[in-house]
Amino acid sequence: MACAKWILNERGPRGGPGRGNNLAQSQGSYGKRQQNRESVAALVAASLRGEPRPIMTLGLMVLTLVPLARVAFCFLLFVKERDGIYVAFTAYVLIGLVAGVILGRVG
């Protein structure tokens, strides 16, 4: 992320001058930001073109989803083992993580 931020500051979104760009110029060609949301396909396409903001956004999405996937996997493992107390604790944590992701996306 630090590398992508440095590239954005030094080179700009399309290799031009980086400092002094306004927000409309710094969004690159991956689409207009309406309500601060882009589709994942547009983010991936822009990341493959080397644009720094979509790279950072995808990195943050992965960092957010890794713990969620780990807790979901543990939940399924505990259900399979029929370990009731761990199922309850893991379900509680999983509900909290899902609620956080949903509320973070909505809010």
Please state, in angstroms and rounded to a whole number, the distance separating the CA atoms of residues 18 and 6.
10
Residue 58 φ/ψ, nearest 5 degrees? -65, -40
pLDDT of residue 31: 53
pLDDT of residue 42: 87
19-46 tens-digit pLDDT? 544 444 445 555 554 555 668 788 888 8
Average of per-residue pLDDT values in the chain = 76
Task: Please return the burial class of 90, using the count of CB atoms within 10 Å of its CB with bins 0-12, 13-18 and 19+.
Answer: buried
pLDDT of residue 16: 52
**Segment 62-84 mean pLDDT:** 93
Q: Percent of the chain having pLDDT more than 70?
A: 62
Domain residue ranges of the chain, discontinuous segments joined by + = 2-106
pLDDT of residue 105: 66
